[in-house]
Chains A and B, each alone.
Chain A
């Protein structure tokens, strides 16, 4: 970026065939990614999935082993970090401890010889409502305040691309909400391109227009948050973004608008346009909150999938909803979230129940089904204990 001028607007970011190897392991393998200008993009994944490395590559703090990085169409792969139109809000904030808050914020402006650095720094501090603390040293501020200073220090430079490295990780729930809102507001006001890296699915979904779920150095799925949640394509996405009940079976027919999958002798239907594969062994799934519990055998009906009878093995109350674990013979444990419409649980532990869901709510994954019985959906220790005990009992009986 030329000295003395701000970026006009956010720029798009393009990663082409990026590979990053560290001695001993590969962090990112052949990654292609395009982030359109002005968007709020979240890279979501568990720790060690390569998301922070991606961010550091974009910032120029690491060099890719192969591939190119383009910002606003310009190749910056070999551009030094201090010459890239990019700013980072570091996970640790990295506020210079020997400078005041104001000097921290003015640091980047001074380096680029932009006129009136202190005035602009004050303005940025007003944006995050911390101007009254401008003369303090960073270590005299609370975690949340430091976070806002770090944000101001990055935003004040009007970078074409703002990188956020889990900046909300250390904050408590209330502050997080406040900061999320603040980030969104700033993004709307300033119109920068945001690249946000996080392991918190809720944070990613509430803030980003586009979320890319990353796993083992690759992007598993990318799209709008609702789309990812509604139609996960892989078991990893289905379980990392919320919870899912997954079933594996063979497609027995695929005539009409749905495919029919036989799971443990039960025929389950999934709409064709919601299933990635229409033949062979497939894994299908449904979100726990889409399931309904019945204490009597429900009537078979068109457009309804029924599993059961099974036994309730765990009931946990979480305020808004109650989570039930139901073990269905041959199928395994199934989680059900039920809204707390009445006082107390609808069914108790040990009760015999059936679960149903509307065919339209199911989804079919792209994954090849993994060997082994089922995708264990978020099993609780209790269920595992029960299962192990059953297995042991079976063994004893056999002997």
Chain B
């Protein structure tokens, strides 16, 4: 009801301005990926396709990007596997210390990243573990884990337990019921959790900063380069990732909308 909106035009206008505000630096980053800059990409020189065509001219940008992808995939697989099992246990079984486990999973989300990063770094230091790819993956898996559990748990909670009961009623063994009923129904939640994990890992800097050693991820590259000027190639990679993600979101949403429309037509 428009009656309850804070003024008829004020609210839409305010929302539009807020969204524009959110998009300003994104547009800036995108525009400057076409800047014909030489070293630092601060002043607009002129338009060029070169940065997009020769992204890997500066090998270090592409190398960092590759490392980020590798870290992201590894951490996502680990966190999704561990987290899904925990989510199933938490939402489908009764055991003592359930609330204690839930609290333990909540704490990493309530801890500032810098404390997580410094803690792990202190741990690796005292254990004498050299920092590098493995320590980055360990750190990323840690902060993704809680988000996976929360996302998958929400999905399990929305499942009707009667579906599994129906599976068992129809002569399904426990394993069959899990793989043929529970798992397919959980898959959207697990996928969402994995995508979220990857996004979190890909963009993480603070925790990585404390545990990367000599390995350079994309955010680490940007941070180091920031002092003397980030090359336009970094803007190209960030913009490309952004466009890809937006396309994925739009495609999934339009197919969902189309499916809903078809279902509505059928009923």
Nearest B residue (CB) for A62 = B1
Residues of B within 8 Å of A175, CB to CB, are: none
Report the minimal beta-carbon distance from A57 to chain B, rounded to whole angstroms: 13
A61–B1 alpha-carbon span in the complex (Å): 9
Closest 4 CB pairs of A and B: A61-B1, A80-B3, A81-B3, A61-B3
Nearest B residue (CB) for A81 = B3
Q: B1-28: which residues lie under 8 A (CB-CB) from chain A?
A: 1, 3
Report the minimal beta-carbon distance from B46 to chain A, rounded to whole angstroms: 51
Q: B194-251: which residues lie under 8 A (CB-CB) from chain A?
A: none
Residues of A within 8 Å of B3, CB to CB, are: 61, 80-81
Nearest B residue (CB) for A61 = B1
Report the minimal beta-carbon distance from B65 to chain A, rounded to whole angstroms: 49
Report the minimal beta-carbon distance from A142 to chain B, rounded to whole angstroms: 25
A19–B3 alpha-carbon span in the complex (Å): 20
4 contacting pairs across A/B (C-beta < 8 A): A61-B1, A61-B3, A80-B3, A81-B3
A81–B3 alpha-carbon span in the complex (Å): 10
Residues of B within 8 Å of A81, CB to CB, are: 3
A263–B197 alpha-carbon span in the complex (Å): 78
Tally of A interface residues using CB under 8 Å: 3
A167–B243 alpha-carbon span in the complex (Å): 52
Query: Using an 8 Å CB-CB cutoff, how does the interface string of A175-211 with B read, 1 for contact, 0 for none?
Result: 0000000000000000000000000000000000000
Q: A222-276: which residues lie under 8 A (CB-CB) from chain B?
A: none
Residues of A within 8 Å of B1, CB to CB, are: 61
Q: B91-106: which residues lie under 8 A (CB-CB) from chain A?
A: none
Residues of B within 8 Å of A80, CB to CB, are: 3
Nearest B residue (CB) for A60 = B3
A294–B200 alpha-carbon span in the complex (Å): 84
A384–B138 alpha-carbon span in the complex (Å): 72
A61–B3 alpha-carbon span in the complex (Å): 9
A259–B3 alpha-carbon span in the complex (Å): 56
A80–B1 alpha-carbon span in the complex (Å): 13
A80–B2 alpha-carbon span in the complex (Å): 12
Nearest B residue (CB) for A80 = B3
Report the minimal beta-carbon distance from B3 to chain A, rounded to whole angstroms: 7
Query: Using an 8 Å CB-CB cutoff, how does the interface string of A6-49 with B read, 1 for contact, 0 for none?
Result: 00000000000000000000000000000000000000000000
A80–B4 alpha-carbon span in the complex (Å): 11
Report the minimal beta-carbon distance from B250 to chain A, rounded to whole angstroms: 27
A61–B2 alpha-carbon span in the complex (Å): 11
Residues of B within 8 Å of A61, CB to CB, are: 1, 3
Report the minimal beta-carbon distance from B264 to chain A, rounded to whole angstroms: 15
Report the minimal beta-carbon distance from A75 to chain B, rounded to whole angstroms: 19
Q: B141-197: which residues lie under 8 A (CB-CB) from chain A?
A: none
Report the minimal beta-carbon distance from B8 to chain A, rounded to whole angstroms: 13
Nearest B residue (CB) for A63 = B3
Report the minimal beta-carbon distance from A78 to chain B, rounded to whole angstroms: 12
A1–B1 alpha-carbon span in the complex (Å): 24
A80–B3 alpha-carbon span in the complex (Å): 9
Report the minimal beta-carbon distance from B5 to chain A, rounded to whole angstroms: 14
Q: A69-110: which residues lie under 8 A (CB-CB) from chain B?
A: 80-81
A89–B3 alpha-carbon span in the complex (Å): 20
Report the minimal beta-carbon distance from A88 to chain B, rounded to whole angstroms: 15
Nearest A residue (CB) for B1 = A61
Report the minimal beta-carbon distance from B201 to chain A, rounded to whole angstroms: 38
A198–B75 alpha-carbon span in the complex (Å): 59
A81–B1 alpha-carbon span in the complex (Å): 12
A278–B3 alpha-carbon span in the complex (Å): 52
Nearest B residue (CB) for A82 = B3
A120–B1 alpha-carbon span in the complex (Å): 31
Report the minimal beta-carbon distance from A80 to chain B, rounded to whole angstroms: 7
Report the minimal beta-carbon distance from A53 to chain B, rounded to whole angstroms: 14
A198–B185 alpha-carbon span in the complex (Å): 41
Q: A286-344: which residues lie under 8 A (CB-CB) from chain B?
A: none
